[in-house]
Amino acid sequence: MRTRVAALLVIAVLAASSLASSAGARRQADPLTIYAAASLTEVFSSFDRAQRYSFAGSNALETQIRNGAPADIFASAAPLNTQRLFQSRMVERPVTFTANRLVLIVPRSNPAGIRSVYDLRRKPVKLVIAGAAVPVGAYTRTVLRKLGLSSVLSKVVSQESDVKAVSGKVAFGQADAGFVYATDARPVREQVSVIRIPAWAQPRIRYEIAVVSRSSRKAAARAWIKRILSPGGQRALRNAGFLPIPKATR
């Protein structure tokens, strides 16, 4: 009798251990929910297909996180969005993980005959940009101000919610020109031509990433951020056209 009881206890312990191990494995395999700027769509999706992503304008994602969206990580195209959440204790301390630059794109057919960013002032053009609250929209306005071209904002026919909407409208010929990140010109390179902006007029485009405070997967989220900061993660970003982390923020 004692032998049978002992055997049953051993079986029960092994079963409980197996269940705990299976639950742990399932939890480890669960994808993280990563809220990321639209400009990170291609690089994040190819770098790690196992995670769950929500791509949009950084300002919209910030608002969603404030409203309780179930994100584990927030990757923003501008420090403003992550820093505001950090000040509200809604994310852990953000870190810079990459950078970018702005370009002007025009349809391949270039019906407006735009050869230089200054042609925006000289020619009747239909210009599309992102809204002022969207990082790429704010960067666009900075560039125009530096170039003395703020007056061309009167030629804007549409203000979009994220950079993908801007590049899409230009690629489909719905606008004569649009300002996007250099990395967002790549996916539509068959449909658009790129016009560079002088280096001295470039804004400081810096991306930040942080763990969301209410995440129940903080350890896994921190580990993922370490991966994107690792040599492999940085190589993936460079291969997608992003710039190295600015030295001042390392």
pLDDT in tens, 78-124: 999 999 999 999 999 999 999 999 999 999 999 999 999 999 999 99
The dihedral through the CA atoms of 183, 244, 103, 145 has a sign that is: positive
Are 31-99+207-249 and 102-201 the same fold in CATH? yes
User: Given a cut of 70, is residue 50 above it in pLDDT?
Assistant: yes
pLDDT at 187: 96
DSSP-derived 3-state class of residue 53: strand
Contacts of 178 (CB under 8 A, 6+ apart): 104, 105, 127, 128, 129, 166, 167, 169, 170
Q: What is the pLDDT of residues 177-190, one digit of tens each?
A: 999 999 999 999 99
pLDDT at 26: 41
Architecture of the 31-99+207-249 domain = 3-Layer(aba) Sandwich (3.40)
- What single-letter amino acid sits at 146? K
Instruction: Give pTM, 2 decimals.
Output: 0.87
Q: What stretch of H or E contains 135?
A: helix 135-146
Distance CA 179, CA 104 (A): 5
Let me know if domain 102-201 sits in CATH 3.40.190.10.
yes
User: Given a cut of 60, is residue 24 above it in pLDDT?
Assistant: no
pLDDT at 249: 64
> Percentage of residues in the chain with pLDDT exceeding 90?
86
104 and 111 in contact (C-beta within 8 Å)? no
Distance CA 142, CA 136 (A): 10
Question: Exposure pattern of 136-151 as b/e (b: 16+ CB <10 Å)?
Answer: bbbbbbbbbeebeeee
Residue ranges per structural domain of the chain? 31-99+207-249, 102-201
Q: What is the pLDDT of residues 224-235, one digit of tens each?
A: 999 999 999 999
Beta strands in 161-204 (DSSP E): 177-181, 192-196
- State the greatest distance between any 2 C-alpha atoms of the chain, in Å, as a whole number: 98
